[in-house]
Structure 1
Amino acid sequence: MEELYTLEREVGRGSYGVVFEGRIAKTGLRVAIKRLPCSNPECIELYLQELWAMRATAKIHVNVIALHSCLLQTGPRSLKTLKPGKLPLPLVESVLKGTVSSSPQNQEEMTPQQDTHRKTNSVSTLKDKTNTIQTRAKTPHKTTKPDPSQTITPKRPQSRGRKRPAEREENRRGPLRCLALWLVMEYCDGGDLNQYLLSRPPDTQNNHSVVKQLCSAMDFLHGLGITHRDLKPDNVLVCETPKGPVVKVADFGLSKMSDGQVDGDCTKQHFSSICGSDFYMAPEVWGGLTYSAQADIFSLGVMFWAVLERITFVEEGSTKELLGAYVCKGRSGWLMPLGEALWENADLQLCIPMKFKRAPPLPPPPGPATCTLLLEMLASNPDARPRADQLEARVCSALEEDSH
């Protein structure tokens, strides 16, 4: 690793891996390096989904996190750079077989297209409702050690008449094991959207800029056939610039990438796995129905409402303040996710702007045109929500109308 990158400090730790701040050894460019331990098939499936999605965005959109490279760790000090458009076959086998498989050194890599064909009959057991980054350190992930009981490949005696090159360490130890994937990405110095906005006084211009940029990112991703499925402020990173914040959609572990847009419309691609984070999940996801990319639009609606009005909540068992809209139930003021409330009552009337439970200092409430658009984005019926390719123009028009 030291020959390619230097790790300087840990900046985030979640359920699936650790993120470090680092630098490219040759250029000194600051990067974020995420280590994803390949300890079980369920985690590996998430990692491969994230890798596919990030490689598909190689055109690089300013509001989508950029992937510089991906490395496969096969030993304590052994890293292999993965070729573009290829996936490591042993990891693909681990997902298909449901067990972590070791791989001979000469096993080939598989393209995402080939794996999609083989994976048609595999059953996905993904369900992630709390993918929030933890700020306190946990016990580091343990890497998988080679099994000493494995049979060591017999060696031929050296020929006296010809000197053979020294065998590599991994050859002597037998079959390789995929210990971890390392994703090298662009570094964002502003933290996530929660940290960036809530650590500053309300700034209407910045809020509007964030909303517009997220619209542009979603249009780009849906145009590529990528449904994110876990949009929330924790998964939006911020780069600080002299002209204001530049936001980057990140964390594609739960994303799904369609083989091709169905009749040119990615909203016709349907999914069934219940995944996401409670306060941002769409009603149809809460209800266990099949859903489309329009579930992302609902998640954006929750985020936009929270950003524009500075609405926050604290999850049970946590002290971290998070941006997110909700419904208050009962006299105790129990917080209920919007998606869950709308699933229980599709005719529920949402009060936009919200009159209470906003975090001080308070920004001015959104105007009538913006409120109308938010209600459309948060509609119980997915077909009533605007599509991603319409959203940016709609948002700009509403903000412009309200400014007068």
Structure 2
Amino acid sequence: MEELYTLAREVGRGSYGVVFEGHMAKTGQRVAIKRLPCISPECIELYLQELWVMRATAKNNPNVIALHDCLLQTGSRTLEPLRSGRLPLDLVESALKGIVVCTESQTGQEDRTRSDTHLSRRKKNRTDLGGLFGSRTKSRLRTKSESDVFRCERQEITNSGLSRSKINERTHSEISKTPMRTNSGLSRLRKRPEAGLQGEEENRVPRRCCALWLVMEYCDGGDLNHYLLSRPPDSQRNNSVVQQLSSAIAFLHRLRIVHRDLKPDNVLVSLAPSGPLVKVADFGLSKMCVVGGLGARGDDSLTRQHFSSTCGSDFYMAPEVWGGLSYTAQADIFSLGVMFWAVLERITFLEEGSTEEQLGAYVCRGRWLMPLGEALWENPDLQVSVPMKARRAPPLPPPPGQALCTLLLDMLASDPDARPTAAQLECRVRVAMEEDAAQ
């Protein structure tokens, strides 16, 4: 692979890495390039999991982010393309041994400093109700302690090509969006030709694995929060978003991929003449499942696969995840229900220290907001009111119809078995919208 990628500007930075807007030098095609520094076995495990999932999804669904290329950085200006279907063995070794193999110390120290700074600025996870009206007030939103954030995950069956061993797992979102900043000058990432790489596979010498670079399709509409909240409410647009997301999760679950961190920040939007095209992204916490043998497929087998690690973001986590219980792919359905409710009614909240609204449903406790999953964990018999009774000032879209309200309540059931599967959800979303439109 001989083409060169040009980095134009930084568009996102988080606890795991940096995302750049870039271009293919030969074609000029705009792409998103994510640099993931290989500074710890825990980070490397998440990177490899994301790479494996994105390769599995390929470009088979328009509502899932597409991976164009993957490169392994082995020097300050040296990148090697990874052949399709292969994992970088040096990084696999690092993840399994629990130590980073031949990493570049200076680069690692710089990136670790950025990561620690980001983590130290994480806010508590309960928001004052006054934030709904624009005031910056104290937050009571509870975040997991650092020991929980890096808690050791129990043995979980995956087909990612890694050992079925205990590997620490972070619960933070991989890339948190920040205002775009332009780099001074343009950088070119040079890649070695493939000649000679096949011979190295047999007698591999430990090398410096500085970073993993993922080249993905570029989404010019930003994330779902930014896209929807920067525009006036529109029922037709909201319904389109809900339908596309249900299609994306049905596709992932058919491939036995459980996302485990669904939220508006992890849904990107590509602008098209026919309307917004939403794409599920950020698969660092996802799992690929093997259930009932190699030929097993479908939601029925997927709901029998249990997970134990606490993953996700507080406002979107299912009650069973909040409670530290084992959970299944049905946790994705709950997270999707929170998103659907927020999108259809434009329900938002503010976190302390932030002036940017975020889409998300919750339960009011006096003047405090409690994540819906936490409230249902504490009281499984809690009666959820859809549409929401206490609503923000206009402009607001009309409330969802009766059929959609019933579907939302089913998705937000405290009992995971009472929620529809992803395949059932895709069908029910379409039927509910048709019924509400006919009334």
Q: Please give the TM-score of this superposition, normalised by the length of structure 2.
A: 0.78
Q: Distance in 2 between matches of 1:288 and 1:308?
A: 29
Q: Describe the shift of the 1:236–1:258 C-alpha distance in structure 2 as closer, same or farther (beyond 3 A).
A: same
Residue from 227, 242, 245 that aligns with 2:258? 227
8 A contact 1:310–1:359 mirrored in 2:
no
Residue from 248, 253, 263 that aligns with 1:217? 248
Aligned twin of 1:197? 228
Equivalences for residues 316-355 of structure 1 within 5 A: 316-330=352-366, 333-355=367-389
How far the C-alpha of 1:319 sits from its partner, in A, is 2.1
SS of equivalent residue, structure 1 residue 72? strand
8 A contact 2:245–2:280 mirrored in 1:
yes
How far the C-alpha of 1:177 sits from its partner, in A, is 1.0
How far the C-alpha of 1:134 sits from its partner, in A, is 4.2
SS of equivalent residue, structure 2 residue 271? strand
How far the C-alpha of 1:125 sits from its partner, in A, is 2.1
How far the C-alpha of 1:357 sits from its partner, in A, is 3.9
SS of equivalent residue, structure 1 residue 15? coil
Specify every segment of 5 or more residues in structure 2 that has no aligned partner in the other structure, as ranges.
104-157, 184-204
Q: Describe the shift of the 1:131–1:286 C-alpha distance in structure 2 as closer, same or farther (beyond 3 A).
A: farther
User: 1:102 corresponds to which letter in structure 2?
Assistant: C
8 A contact 2:173–2:261 mirrored in 1:
no
Aligned twin of 2:88? 88
Q: Distance in 1 between matches of 2:412 and 2:253?
A: 18
Q: Distance in 1 between matches of 2:277 and 2:13?
A: 23
User: 1:50 corresponds to which letter in structure 2?
Assistant: E
Q: Distance in 2 between matches of 1:372 and 1:285?
A: 23
8 A contact 1:131–1:277 mirrored in 2:
no
**Higher alpha-carbon Rg:** 1
Aligned twin of 2:161? 115
Aligned twin of 1:269? 305
User: 1:6 corresponds to which letter in structure 2?
Assistant: T
SS of equivalent residue, structure 1 residue 87? coil
Instruction: Using CA pairs under 8 Å that are at least 6 residues apart, name the structure with larger relative contact order, 1 or 2.
Output: 2
Per-residue displacement from partner, 1:310-367 (whole Å, max 9, x unpaired)? 000012332221000000112xx21100000000000000111012243631000011
SS of equivalent residue, structure 1 residue 339? helix
Percent of aligned pairs with the same amino acid? 71
Q: Describe the shift of the 1:114–1:371 C-alpha distance in structure 2 as closer, same or farther (beyond 3 A).
A: closer
8 A contact 1:130–1:278 mirrored in 2:
no
User: 2:404 corresponds to which letter in structure 1?
Assistant: T
Aligned twin of 1:163? none
Equivalences for residues 141-290 of structure 1 within 5 A: 175-260=206-291, 263-264=296-297, 265-290=301-326
Aligned length: 357
Aligned twin of 2:201? none
Aligned twin of 1:46? 46
Residue from 167, 172, 177 that aligns with 1:124? 167
Q: Please give the TM-score of this superposition, normalised by the length of structure 1.
A: 0.84
Q: Distance in 2 between matches of 1:299 and 1:394?
A: 17
Q: Distance in 1 between matches of 2:10 and 2:363?
A: 36
8 A contact 2:291–2:304 mirrored in 1:
no
Q: Describe the shift of the 1:359–1:212 C-alpha distance in structure 2 as closer, same or farther (beyond 3 A).
A: farther
How far the C-alpha of 1:42 sits from its partner, in A, is 0.8
Per-residue displacement from partner, 1:71-105 (whole Å, max 9, x unpaired)? 000000110000111111111111111110129xx
SS of equivalent residue, structure 1 residue 135? strand
Aligned twin of 1:145? none
Per-residue displacement from partner, 1:175-223 (whole Å, max 9, x unpaired)? 4210000000000000000000000000110000000000110010000
User: 1:329 corresponds to which letter in structure 2?
Assistant: R
8 A contact 1:127–1:273 mirrored in 2:
no
Q: Distance in 2 between matches of 1:321 and 1:184?
A: 29
